[in-house]
């Protein structure tokens, strides 16, 4: 992120615009909405721009730019059709450490104008740092359709009553109160044009809020999928934004973790091969303890919580302790990684069944029903099988599997770092060494692997 999104308070502050045409006028409209005092210099100025300047209490100069004008400004916009003048304005402004924007020239900018979605005091800025303005406008259009036109009125109501709420409730209760306001009947009343009754409803609820019983805690057990944040469910995203604290493991991607509420406490409880930073029993008890403190606890797991994720053990402990919980399924690694690799697990010409197997070595041994696994027209997927891959290959071949059976390793599946190493069950252990395959990696064995060159779409 090269440009940090910030919100400037420009009310009555002088902003210099160099340029008087249509582009300068568009920038002036935005600055005028922010109640800035406009200063404009240009050989020619549009009528609309002139009116915007006068309405802001500013002034315009019909003439050429000179550096002395910067002494009057807190912010500068260069919007002429002369690249050399724009570059000069940028250099002069930066020499004085003034924030400067040069239209359509990101290299000369110290700030950029985002595409803005506005609902009263609520504003959302979407920026690409000047690299893809058409994309930001498209995203703005999508957000415009999602946000209620009455959202600004709700924000204004909250702003008017914020002081009363702060005086009436301790900090620990205020968050829950505002959460109720923005998710309850208040919004509907305001959007129906009944702001007076909405305010009365809010004040009545405020007067009795402290008498409410303390909110009970809850645990959200959520599958974060194999890595790509686009694979999360809507429900998962909603609960991730409500959590007070998140316990997450090593298989949760950075991109998925970024979608958790920013002020939530984060506790890493990940496990690496042959190393557990927090024992499972301690994780189970920590979920109970945090929930009994009245917190909304997010247990975020890679893949699906119930596919080799030990989620069943966690909810068993929660149920035993009487802690309420919700479970949100996630796309398990086998489904996500195979799809992103162009390997359909049950293509009818190659497999009529699929088996998910844990390849995790316990005390150096991997005890599995090997003969049952050597079945025609079946796909086998091994989770956590990278360390035990030589044993897996040896046992399958010893129990009758053809060494030429197609097999593949999918490393860091569904992420930008995804890599597929394909061969046969006989060659795969050596290929893993040659290509330095690292965990997390999934092993897929069966005829469906031969389809990846034809069907693979994620490169």
Ramachandran area for residue 168 (φ above 0: left; ψ -120 to 50: alpha; else beta)? alpha
On whether 447 is known to bind a ligand per the annotation, the reply is no
Q: Which residue has the tokens 């979407």?
A: 126
Identified catalytic residue from 249, 295, 301, 412: 249
On whether 43 is known to bind a ligand per the annotation, the reply is yes
- The residue among 302, 316, 329, 314 whose CA lies nearest residue 225 is 302
Phi, psi of 101 (to 5 degrees): -120, 130
* CB 421, CB 310: distance < 8 Å: no
Is 249 labeled as catalytic in the residue annotation? yes
On whether 429 is known to bind a ligand per the annotation, the reply is no
On whether 23 is known to bind a ligand per the annotation, the reply is yes
On whether 376 is known to bind a ligand per the annotation, the reply is no
* CB 31, CB 98: distance < 8 Å: no
Distance CA 199, CA 157 (A): 7
Show the tokens assigned to 31. Answer: 């600055």
Q: What is the DSSP letter of 347?
A: -
On whether 129 is known to bind a ligand per the annotation, the reply is no
- The residue among 81, 89, 138 whose CA lies nearest residue 110 is 89
The radius of gyration of the chain from alpha carbons, rounded to an integer in Å, stands at: 30
On whether 332 is known to bind a ligand per the annotation, the reply is yes
Distance CA 146, CA 150 (A): 12
Show the tokens assigned to 313. Answer: 């053990």
Cis peptide preceding 390, ω within 30 of 0: no
On whether 401 is known to bind a ligand per the annotation, the reply is no
| Helix locations, 356-409, DSSP H | 370-373, 389-398
Is 271 labeled as catalytic in the residue annotation? yes
- The helix or strand, by DSSP H or E, that contains position 407, with its residue range, turns out to be strand 406-411
On whether 302 is known to bind a ligand per the annotation, the reply is yes
Q: How far is CA 387 from CA 60, 128, 425, in A?
A: 72, 42, 15
Identified catalytic residue from 74, 176, 271, 289: 271
Q: Which positions make up the binding site for S-adenosyl-L-methionine?
A: 226, 302-304, 307, 332-333, 384, 413
Positions at the binding site for NAD(+): 22-23, 43-44
Binding-site residue numbers are: 22-23, 43-44, 226, 302-304, 307, 332-333, 384, 413
Q: Which of the residues are catalytic?
A: 249, 271
């Amino acid at each position: 992120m090269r440009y940090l999104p910030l919100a400037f308070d420009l009310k009555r502050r002088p902003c210099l615009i160099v340029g008087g045409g249509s582009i300068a006028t568009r920038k002036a409209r935005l600055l005028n909405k922010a109640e800035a005092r406009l200063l404009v210099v240009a050989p020619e100025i549009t009528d609309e721009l002139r009116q915007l300047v006068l309405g802001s209490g500013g002034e315009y100069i019909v003439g050429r730019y000179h550096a002395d004008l910067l002494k009057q400004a807190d912010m500068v916009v260069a919007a002429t059709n002369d690249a050399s003048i724009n570059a000069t304005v940028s250099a002069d402004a930066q020499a004085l450490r003034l924030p400067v924007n040069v239209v359509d020239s990101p290299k000369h900018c110290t700030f950029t104008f985002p595409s803005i979605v506005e609902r009263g005091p609520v504003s959302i800025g979407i920026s690409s740092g000047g690299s893809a303005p058409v994309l930001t406008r498209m995203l703005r259009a999508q957000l415009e359709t999602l946000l209620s036109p009455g959202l600004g009125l709700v924000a204004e109501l909250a702003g008017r009553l914020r002081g009363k709420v702060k005086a009436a409730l301790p900090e620990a209760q205020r968050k829950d109160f505002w959460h109720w306001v923005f998710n309850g009947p208040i919004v509907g009343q305001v959007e129906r044009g009944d702001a007076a009754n909405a305010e009365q409803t809010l004040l009545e609820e405020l007067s009795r809020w402290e008498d409410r019983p303390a909110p009970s805690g809850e645990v959200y057990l959520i599958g974060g999928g194999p890595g790509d944040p686009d694979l999360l469910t809507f429900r998962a995203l909603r609960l991730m934004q409500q959590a007070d604290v998140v316990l997450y493991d090593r298989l949760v991607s950075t991109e998925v973790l970024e979608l958790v509420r920013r002020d939530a406490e984060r506790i890493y409880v990940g496990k690496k091969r042959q190393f557990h930073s927090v024992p499972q029993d301690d994780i189970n008890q920590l979920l109970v303890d945090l929930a009994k403190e009245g917190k909304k606890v997010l247990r975020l797991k890679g893949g699906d919580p119930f596919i080799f994720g030990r989620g069943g053990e966690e909810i068993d402990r929660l149920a035993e302790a009487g802690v309420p919980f919700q479970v949100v399924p996630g796309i398990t690694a086998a489904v996500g990684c195979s799809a992103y690799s162009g390997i359909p697990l049950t293509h009818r010409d190659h497999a009529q069944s699929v088996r998910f197997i844990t390849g995790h070595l316990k005390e150096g041994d991997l005890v599995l029903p090997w003969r049952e696994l050597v079945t025609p027209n079946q796909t086998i997927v091994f989770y956590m099988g990278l360390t035990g891959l030589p044993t897996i290959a040896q046992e399958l071949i010893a129990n009758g599997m053809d060494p030429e059976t197609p097999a593949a390793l999918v490393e860091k599946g569904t992420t930008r770092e995804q890599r597929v190493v394909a061969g046969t069950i006989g060659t795969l252990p050596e290929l893993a060494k040659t290509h330095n395959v690292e965990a997390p990696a999934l092993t897929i064995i069966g005829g469906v692997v031969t389809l990846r060159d034809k069907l693979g779409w994620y490169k």
